[in-house]
Amino acid sequence: MAQPAVTREDTRGIQGVLIDVPPTVCGRVLATRGTFEVVVTCPKCARLHRHRGVGIRRAPCGRTYLVRIRGKQVRA
């Protein structure tokens, strides 16, 4: 199987493995009937999507992204 052509600019900072990292979107917490949902603006279609948690999610439009909640970072 032929490898795709990669220029020198494309490989800066890569240590042998190419990983497809989804974009990160920050959401807002929405309190619904006894549950919490995260509302994000989709980077593909610019519509609002609701998810039941954070992490890697797939939107109804087919875009995959990493959902995070805005706020202070907690350090261990």
Residue 51 domain-assigned?
A: yes
Range of the domain at 37: 17-69
**pLDDT, position 55:** 93
**pLDDT, position 75:** 52
Residue 54 domain-assigned?
A: yes
Higher pLDDT among residues 72 and 51, named by residue: 51
Residue 30 domain-assigned?
A: yes
**pLDDT, position 9:** 52
Residue 76 domain-assigned?
A: no
Residue 53 domain-assigned?
A: yes
Residue 57 domain-assigned?
A: yes
Residue 48 domain-assigned?
A: yes
Residue 74 domain-assigned?
A: no
Please give the model's pTM, rounded to 2 decimal places.
Answer: 0.63
What is residue 56's three-state secondary structure?
Answer: strand
Number of domains making up the chain: 1
Residue pLDDT, tens place only, 12-63: 555 666 677 889 999 999 988 888 899 999 999 999 999 999 999 999 999 9
Q: Give me the numbers of helices (H) and strands (E) for the chain, helices first please.
A: 0, 5
